[in-house]
Structure formats: C-alpha cells, structure tokens
C-alpha cells in the first residue's frame, strides 16, 4: 500500500524505505498510508532494498489495518495537533520487537507507529475505533 509524504504530498508506491530514510523529495519524515487509487507515481519507488527489516512488518500491519477498514482521510486534523500531543501507540524496536503503549491504544483516536528508538519516523493512522463505530451506527 502506498504512502504519502505529509509535507510535499509525494506518493511512494511502497513507502517503507522512505519512512525509514525520510522523504527523498523534501526530507520530511511523516507519512500517511493512502489508498490504491492514488497509486500513480511508479517512478518514485526505490528498488533493491526489499530486505529493509521493518518493511515487511509495516506492510503487513498496513494490510491488517486496511482489512479493518481503516481509511486515511484526516490528514489535516492530525497535522494540526501540536507535536507534544503525539504519543505513539506502537514502537517498533526492530523486527520482532515491539513496545505497546496500551494507554494510547485504549484511549487515543489514532494509532501512531514509531520506528526505532529515536521516534523520528512516525506513521499516523486515524482510529480504527472511530471507523468501526461510524460503520455500525
């Protein structure tokens, strides 16, 4: 599933490499999962790095969340939140090693995944919970 840089809006077909290294276009480090219909920028795909450890996990988490009906359409709202408000719900310490902030998972509207200990790379997702509720009622 493709990812979009939240600053320059460039879309990457499979954004794991960019998420890890920052946007090659503008250097920004925040990305959003976007849907397949936006998937029209094949030239931005960086090939030959498929062994990137977090890539597979992200992709699978990503597919999993897509399965749950998560839509990414609250870019602005999330972007306007002050930095300090962002508490990551899942911290990926490395392949097979995760830290979960249960409080954030239970209470917050979005799921924020942070890669590596410095927390530089974040992926914001709006709530699976919200989506579910809307669908139901």
Partner 1 sequence: MGFIKKVKKNFSSIFKSLFKKKIAKIGIYGPPNAGKTTLANRIIRDWTGDAMGAVSNVPHETRRARRREGVTIESNGSKVTLDIVDTPGLATKVDFHEFMAHGLEEEEAKRRAKEATEGIIEAVKWLDDLDGVILVMDATEDPFTQVNVTVIGNMEARKLPLLIAANKIDLPESSPARIRSAFPQHPLVPISALDGQNIDALYEEIADHFG
d(CA 89, CA 103): 8
Q: Is 87 in the site for partner 1 (CB under 8 A)?
A: no
- Backbone φ, ψ for residue 99 (5° rounding): -115, 135
Our CB check for partner 1 shows the closer of 35 and 109 to be: 109
Q: Is 129 in the site for partner 1 (CB under 8 A)?
A: yes
Q: Looking at 43, 80, 106, 135, which residue binds partner 1 (CB under 8 A)?
A: 106
Name residues contacting partner 1, limited to 26-55 (CB under 8 A).
none
Residue whose tokens read 């794991």: 16
Q: Which residues contact 100 (CB under 8 A, 6 or more apart)?
A: 89, 90, 91
Write down the least CB distance from residue 59 to partner 1, Å.
11
d(CA 63, CA 70): 10
d(CA 107, CA 44): 36
Q: Looking at 41, 87, 98, 134, which residue binds partner 1 (CB under 8 A)?
A: 98
Q: Are 86 and 120 in contact (CB under 8 A)?
A: no
Stretch that binds partner 1, among 2-10, 15-23, 29-37, 98-106 (CB under 8 A): 98-106
Q: Is 135 in the site for partner 1 (CB under 8 A)?
A: no
Site residues for partner 1 per CB under 8 A = 57, 60-61, 64-65, 68, 90, 93, 95-103, 105-107, 111, 128-129, 132-133
């Amino acid at each position: 599933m493709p990812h979009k840089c939240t600053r320059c809006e460039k879309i990457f077909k499979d954004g794991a490499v960019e998420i890890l290294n920052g946007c090659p276009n503008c250097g920004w480090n925040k990305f959003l999962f976007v849907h397949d219909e936006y998937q029209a920028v094949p030239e931005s795909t960086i090939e030959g790095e498929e062994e990137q450890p977090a890539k597979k996990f992200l992709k699978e988490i990503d597919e999993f969340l897509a399965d749950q009906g998560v839509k990414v359409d609250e870019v602005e709202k999330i972007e306007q939140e002050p930095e300090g408000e962002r508490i990551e719900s899942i911290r990926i310490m490395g392949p097979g090693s995760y830290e979960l902030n249960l409080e954030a998972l239970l209470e917050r509207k979005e799921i924020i995944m942070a890669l590596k200990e410095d927390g530089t790379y974040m992926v914001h997702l709006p709530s699976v919970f919200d989506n579910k509720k809307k669908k139901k009622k």
